[in-house]
Amino acid sequence: MTEKEKMLCGQWHDANFDEALLKERSAAEGLCYDFNMAKPGSEEQSSALQKLLGTTLPEGLTVLAPAYFDYGIYTDFGKGTFVNHGCYFMDGGKIHIGENVFIGPFCGFYTASHPLNYEERNKGLERALPIVVGDNCWFGANVSVLQGVTIGAGCVIAAGSVVTEDIPENCLVAGVPATIKKRLNL
């Protein structure tokens, strides 16, 4: 099994020294540069984002520069989603963002973790688990979402929160780590 196959299956893999993964991330870094340096709203910027994500852009998607992706092709966005400035998508594991999601500035979606044992960590080992965000969620500024988390539809994540566990639908969460503060009435 290749390191990429291990990565996509959520297994421990060599993320730091594997030539194929380094090449993919380097290509994504170049496309991030093209996107971030292009005139905002230009065809050049849209084209760079489409190449980075490897798919046709969904209707109404807005991603403001700068934005950063490890691979790009492992992140997908739903229609009407808005991503504010300075967001980072560490997409070694797949990241799915639903429709009509508002993501505030400087949010991070982190699918990867490393071994706690430094000897293993120094070998370049990493494990990436997917992140899933339901439709109609709102993320305040500086939210961090960690690996393996699923956030249900209709949630509001308060600014500065660190989401470490799954969140059911229609909840307001806040804090470090984020906890449910109340259920939202529809």
Question: Where in the sequence numbering do the catalytic residues fall?
Answer: 114
Q: Looking at this protein, which amino acid is placed at residue 127?
A: R
3-state secondary structure of 90: strand
- Rounded to 10 degrees, the C-alpha dihedral 7/49/28/36 comes to -130
Q: Using the structure block, give the residue that is written with the tokens 């470490």.
A: 164
Q: What DSSP string describes 158-183?
A: -TT-EE-S-B-SSEEEETTTTEEEEE
Six-digit token string for 158: 């308060």
Q: Give 156's contacts (C-beta < 8 A, 6+ positions apart).
A: 137, 138, 140, 171, 172, 173, 184
